[in-house]
Amino acid sequence: MNATNLIFKTIHVLFWIIFIGLMVNTGSILVAGILRLIINPEKFKYLYTVIDYDKVLFYDRMAYSLFVACIVAVEGLKSYIAYLVITIFLKLDLNSPFQSSFAPVLTRISQLAFLAGLIAAVTTGLSNWFIGLGLIVPNKWGAEELLFFAGILYIVSVIFKKGTQLQTDNDLTI
């Protein structure tokens, strides 16, 4: 096995680990958010302690619901992006990398990253609003990074489409 194949196998395994971690994180935020909203927040105070949104819940239940929904949406989209990367790795053949099935997946990933970036920007705006009210919440949700990633990946997907067309034309002429 050459070094490139080893690197790709390692990245594939790492993406499985990232995907599982993101899914667990998304599920934890969702379950903790719903249980705190529906039942008593004090009973589920220690269910998900990475980020404490109880002050937002006590301020306004609707704002809390919107805030948690935005966070779950961003984390869920990141999870789905990791899953799509895994599907690419499952079909990837380094001898013929420009396969027509990859271009739509890359475009889809860039669209999802853009959507996640927009939702993260909304979440950052909500966070800043809560901070203005005197509530302590995180205000960095990675909107800039997700939007930058979406733009770069869109450019790569356009180049990939062109590479697929060139490879197909080359295969036809041989």
Q: pLDDT tens digit string along 119-150?
A: 999 999 998 898 888 888 877 888 999 999 99
pLDDT band, residue 116 (cuts 50/70/90): very high
Report how far residue 35's alpha carbon sits from residue 29's, in angstroms, rounded to the nearest whole number.
10
What are the domain boundaries of the chain?
A: 3-173
Note the pLDDT of residue 168: 75
Instruction: Quote the pTM value.
Output: 0.85
Report how far residue 154's alpha carbon sits from residue 52's, in angstroms, rounded to the nearest whole number.
35
pLDDT band, residue 60 (cuts 50/70/90): confident
Over the range 139-155, which residues count as b (16 or more CB within 10 Å of their CB) and which as e?
eebbbeebbebbeebbe
| Weakest-pLDDT range from 25-29, 114-118, 138-142, 148-152 | 138-142
Q: What is the secondary structure of 78-121 as a DSSP string?
A: HHHHHHHHHHHHHH--TTS---TTHHHHHHHHHHHHHHHHHHHH
CA 17 to chain CA centroid, nearest Å: 14
The single residue listed with the structure tokens 């105070």 is: 45
The single residue listed with the structure tokens 């790709």 is: 8
